C-alpha cells in the first residue's frame, strides 16, 4: 500500500532558542552539523519518578504479549553505520539490564550474527526465564570470504554472507543457528525479517516470497511454537503489507509483529487508520521499532536509516521541541511515551550505542508528562485526534 506523505501539512517553523540550545548542548556543538554525531545523549527533562518500567497486563483477546512494554533494539550491537567494540557492546547491555530492561531484540542480519553473538555472551549467566529475546528468520547465514553485501550498513561485521529462504527448512535452520549463536535454550519471538515491498534485495516480488512463506516458514514457525521451541512468531518489517495480508488471509496467523518506521509521534495516522485495526481483529499485538525515527527525535540528522530528511520533518521536530520546552520536558521522552501508549502495542524497542542512551531512554519512560502537553499537540494538529496518549 502506498504511504501518504505525512508532513505536507506541517507549517514551517524554526527551533526556539531554548530548544535549539537543548540539542546543541546535547551534541556538544552548534546546529545543525553536530546532529550527525553518533553516541550523544539528549538530556532527559522533567521529573523522573522512581516507578518501574511499564508492564503489560494480561489481555485475553491478544495472542501474545511481552511482559514489559519497553525493550532494547540490537542494530547497534551489530555495528550499524559505525563499529562498536565488544567491550562497549557489553557495557550498553549491562546499563540496560541495570536499568530494568529485560526485553532484547536482535537478528542474524545485524552484523551477520554479531549482534546475536554479543547478546548471547551477555546473557550467558542470566536465567532464561528472566528475559525475553526476539530474533529474526528469512535470511540464512553461511561463512564467506568474498566481499560482504551491505558494507555501508554493517561496519566490521562477522565473516558471513546470507541467502533469503522463507521455506519451512529455511526457517528451522535459521532458528537453530540463532540458538547456537545466542548460546541459549529458547527464543521467545521469531519474526520473518524484511518480507516487505521496500526490500529491493529480494529476488522476485515480496508477494512471491509471502506465498512460499505461507506454507513454508509461517507454518513451520507455528509448529515450533506448538513444540515449545518458541513462544510466538510474526513479521519484522518496515511496511505493514505482509502483516496486514496475513491478518486478512487464510494463512497461519501471526502472534505479534515488529513494525519499524511505521508509528511515531511524527508519523502515525496511516498506521492508526489501517494497520492497527487489521491486526487487532486477529488479536495480533505489535512491537514498535525505531520509535525515535532512527534517532531523529533524539537529535540526530538521520531519518529511517538515511540522511535524506523528508520535507517538513525538521519543521515538525522544531515545533515539537518548542512545545516540549514550554512544558518542561524533552522531545525524546514525549516520543517514547507516545509510541508506547496504544493498547495494541506490546513494547517499544529503541536502540542504544552508548550506556547513556539506554539509561536516558529508560528515564524517559518514568517522567510524568503534563496532560496539557498532549492537548496542545492535538490542538495544533501535531498528533492525530484519535491517537492514544499516555496516562
The SS3 assignment for 302 reads: coil
Buried (b) or exposed (e) across 241-260, using 16+ Cβ within 10 A?
bbbbbbbeeebbbbbbbbbb
Buried (b) or exposed (e) across 293-304, using 16+ Cβ within 10 A?
bbbbbbbbbbbb
The SS3 assignment for 330 reads: coil
110 included as an active-site residue:
yes
Among residues 64, 112, 136, 294, the one annotated as catalytic is 136
Question: What is the number of H-type helices and E-type strands within the chain?
Answer: 13, 9
Beta strand 139-143 pairing with 160-164: antiparallel
2 included as an active-site residue:
no
Beta strand 285-289 pairing with 230-237: unpaired
263 included as an active-site residue:
no
Among residues 110, 112, 191, 263, the one annotated as catalytic is 110
Buried (b) or exposed (e) across 38-52, using 16+ Cβ within 10 A?
eebbbebbbebeeee
Name beta bridge partners: 160. 143
**Structural contact between residues 350 and 72, judged by C-beta atoms closer than 8 angstroms:** yes
**Structural contact between residues 155 and 126, judged by C-beta atoms closer than 8 angstroms:** no
Which residues carry out catalysis?
Answer: 105, 110, 136
Amino acid at each position: 500500500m502506498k504511504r501518504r506523505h505525512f508532513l505536507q501539512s506541517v507549517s514551517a517553523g524554526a527551533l526556539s532558542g531554548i530548544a535549539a540550545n537543548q540539542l546543541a548542548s546535547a551534541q556538544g556543538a552548534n546546529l545543525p552539523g553536530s546532529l550527525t554525531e553518533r553516541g550523544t545523549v539528549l538530556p532527559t527533562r522533567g521529573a523522573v519518578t522512581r516507578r518501574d518500567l511499564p508492564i503489560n497486563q494480561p489481555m485475553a483477546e491478544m495472542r501474545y504479549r511481552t511482559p514489559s512494554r519497553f525493550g532494547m533494539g540490537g542494530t547497534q550491537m551489530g555495528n550499524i553505520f559505525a563499529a562498536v567494540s565488544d567491550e562497549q557492546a557489553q557495557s550498553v547491555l549491562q546499563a540496560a539490564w541495570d536499568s530494568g530492561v529485560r526485553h532484547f531484540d536482535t537478528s542474524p542480519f545485524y552484523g551477520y550474527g554479531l549482534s546475536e553473538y554479543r547478546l548471547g555472551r551477555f546473557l550467558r549467566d542470566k536465567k532464561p526465564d528472566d528475559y525475553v529475546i526476539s530474533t529474526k528468520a528469512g535470511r540464512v547465514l553461511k561463512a564467506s570470504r568474498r566481499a560482504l553485501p551491505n558494507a555501508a550498513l554493517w561496519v566490521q561485521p562477522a565473516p558471513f554472507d546470507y541467502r533469503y529462504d522463507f521455506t519451512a527448512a529455511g526457517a528451522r535452520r535459521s532458528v537453530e543457528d540463532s540458538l547456537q549463536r545466542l548460546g541459549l535454550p529458547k527464543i521467545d519471538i521469531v519474526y520473518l525479517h524484511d518480507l516487505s515491498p521496500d526490500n529491493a534485495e529480494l529476488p522476485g516480488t515480496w508477494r512471491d516470497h509471502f506465498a512460499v512463506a505461507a506454507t513454508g516458514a509461517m507454518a513451520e514457525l507455528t509448529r515450533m511454537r506448538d513444540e515449545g521451541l518458541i513462544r510466538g512468531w510474526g513479521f519484522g518489517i518496515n511496511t505493514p503489507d505482509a502483516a496486514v495480508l496475513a491478518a486478512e488471509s487464510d494463512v497461519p496467523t501471526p502472534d505479534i509483529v515488529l513494525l519499524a518506521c511505521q508509528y511515531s509521534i511524527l508519523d502515525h495516522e496511516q498506521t492508526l487508520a489501517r494497520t492497527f485495526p487489521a491486526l487487532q481483529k486477529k488479536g495480533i499485538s505489535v512491537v514498535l521499532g525505531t520509535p525515535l525515527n532512527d534517532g531523529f527525535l533524539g537529535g540526530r540528522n538521520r531519518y529511517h536509516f538515511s540522511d535524506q530528511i523528508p520535507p517538513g520533518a525538521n519543521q515538525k521536530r522544531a515545533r515539537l521541541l518548542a512545545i516540549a520546552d514550554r512544558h518542561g520536558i524533552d522531545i525524546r521522552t514525549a516520543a517514547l511515551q507516545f509510541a508506547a501508549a496504544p493498547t495494541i502495542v506490546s513494547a517499544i524497542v529503541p536502540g542504544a550505542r552508548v550506556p547513556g542512551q539506554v539509561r536516558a531512554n529508560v528515564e524517559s519512560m518514568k517522567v510524568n508528562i503534563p496532560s496539557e502537553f498532549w492537548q496542545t499537540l492535538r490542538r495544533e494538529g501535531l498528533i492525530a485526534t484519535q491517537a492514544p496518549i499516555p496516562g
